[in-house]
Amino acid sequence: MTSPRLTAPLRQPLFRRLAASYALNELGDWMGIIALSVLVFDRTESALATAALFLGTRFLPALFAPVLVAHAERPPPRFALPVIYCGEAAAFGGLALLVDHFSLAAVVLLAAVDGALALSGRALTRAVVATALEPRGELRAGNAILNVFFTGGAAVGPALAGLVVAGFGVQSALLLDAVSFYAVAWVLFTAGTMPQAEPEPGRMRDRVRAGLSYIREQTTLRRLLLAQGLAFVFFAAVLPVEVIYVKETLGSNDTGYGVMLASWGVGMVLGGLLFARLRQASLALLLLFSTLAVGAGYLGLAVAPTLAVACAVSVVGGAGNGIQWVTAISAVQELTAESMQARVMSVLESIGAAMPGVGFALGGIVAALASPRLTFLVAGVGVVAIVVVMGPLLRGKWLESREISVKPSLDGHDDVVVELIPAPMGNLKSEEMR
């Protein structure tokens, strides 16, 4: 991480503030998820109620985030981003009040509002970063740094949330979360002018329609988003059964479960650092091999005879995970016109929030009908199959020669010119894996 080119984005005060806000957003989201999970289960003692909470925080926001981003991309990001974070702070303040006046429907509703704002904030942040860094040739370095910050937030967030909830209670954790988002809003508001790709004029509905039309017209981009969405299903399929796999299949205990998750986390950190060092490598090849590494990790877990072997293959899978998500983001950004960055990134974030839900259902059904090992086998085979099927559709040197029109029309009648030679494709483990 000492390469001048790699650390170049950190010399920009604005990027440092955006990276810090990105990490704090992830940390705050974990604080909220864990505090709300404890609150809902303590008050209802119902697994279905907890599932409804996760539906509200993951799936429902994915439906509304693209619309919200289409509206939020019009004002200057210096104002839009702080407003979004203030909205998250207000949502957590409302959730803190519900600790004393509990209503499951109100909790799920406010959690869904926060989830949509969080997805929108990440998409807009990525769009600002792309607009600022791509003309300087620093986008991949910036994405590598953001990935390190994001992974750090994801690693520290659950542990910190557990300590705060245990030590100070759910209401204090939610209030602390609200304060942290107000602080992030202030940091961004005082950052000064932020670069902005000027969106085309028109009503919000027209801009949403234009964004979807743009994705349909860009063949390589569309296929990449499809492949990533399918990958999310299989990435997430193993999450509901991991604890059962460790404690019943491998005959270990809670400590063993934590060690295996930590091994995956170590792999993620190593993968993130490797992506940072391989900044000149083809994104197509990085997507191909990192996705295969995740699949290999799952296949290894399907046959691992002991916890030690499971931990070893988890490092391999985690390393692939640490490369795969940030590579997918970089590829989508480089394949997207500047004026469409926020809308396309909101679609990618929404896919990442919604598709794991399908994976949870798939993994739970397979484990219930057969065994946790078969769940890992199905997930591994599914990931490899995505590479085999989608690879030929995305082959070539896809990012070496491209020309994307800057202002696609709202009605879709003007041609969007892309000069591309397609190439091989590309978390929870996205939430857990990102």
Query: Given this model, what pLDDT does residue 75 score?
Result: 85
In tens, the pLDDT along 103-137 reads: 989 998 998 899 889 888 888 888 888 888 888 88
In tens, the pLDDT along 59-92 reads: 788 778 877 887 777 888 889 999 999 999 999 9
Cα–Cα–Cα angle for 216, 121, 70, rounded to 5 degrees: 40
Q: List the single range of 64-68, 169-173, 301-305 with lowest mean pLDDT.
A: 64-68
Which pLDDT band, with edges at 50, 70 and 90, does 300 fall under?
very high
Query: Given this model, what pLDDT does residue 252 score?
Result: 84
Please determine, for residue 396, whether its predicted confidence score (pLDDT) is greater than 60. Answer: no
Name the more confident of 36 and 415. Answer: 36
* CA dist., res. 406 & res. 68, Å (int): 22
Separation of first and last alpha carbons in the chain: 20
Give 86-150 as a DSSP string: HHHHHHHHHHHHHTTS--HHHHHHHHHHHHHHHHHHHHHHHHHHHHHHGGGT-HHHHHHHHHHHH
Please determine, for residue 170, whether its predicted confidence score (pLDDT) is greater than 70. Answer: yes
Give 337-379 as a DSSP string: -GGGHHHHHHHHHHHHHHHHHHHHHHHHHHHHHS-HHHHHHHH
Give 257-291 as a DSSP string: HHHHHHHHHHHHHHHHHHHHHTTTS-HHHHHHHHH
To which CATH superfamily is domain 1-196 assigned? MFS general substrate transporter like domains (1.20.1250.20)
DSSP H or E stretch at residue 332: helix 307-334
* CA dist., res. 258 & res. 255, Å (int): 5
Averaged pLDDT, 160-188: 87
Averaged pLDDT, 299-321: 93
Please determine, for residue 294, whether its predicted confidence score (pLDDT) is greater than 80. Answer: yes
Which pLDDT band, with edges at 50, 70 and 90, does 394 fall under?
low
In tens, the pLDDT along 255-285 reads: 787 788 778 878 887 887 888 788 778 888 8
* CA dist., res. 38 & res. 162, Å (int): 10
Averaged pLDDT, 212-216: 86
CB environment 246-280: b (16+ within 10 A), e (fewer): beebbebeeebbebbbebbbbbbbbbbbbbbebbe
Which pLDDT band, with edges at 50, 70 and 90, does 204 fall under?
low
Which pLDDT band, with edges at 50, 70 and 90, does 434 fall under?
very low
Query: Given this model, what pLDDT does residue 419 score?
Result: 32
Please determine, for residue 421, whether its predicted confidence score (pLDDT) is greater than 70. Answer: no
Averaged pLDDT, 196-208: 67
In tens, the pLDDT along 354-370 reads: 888 788 778 878 887 88
Which pLDDT band, with edges at 50, 70 and 90, does 201 fall under?
low
Domain boundaries, the chain: 1-196
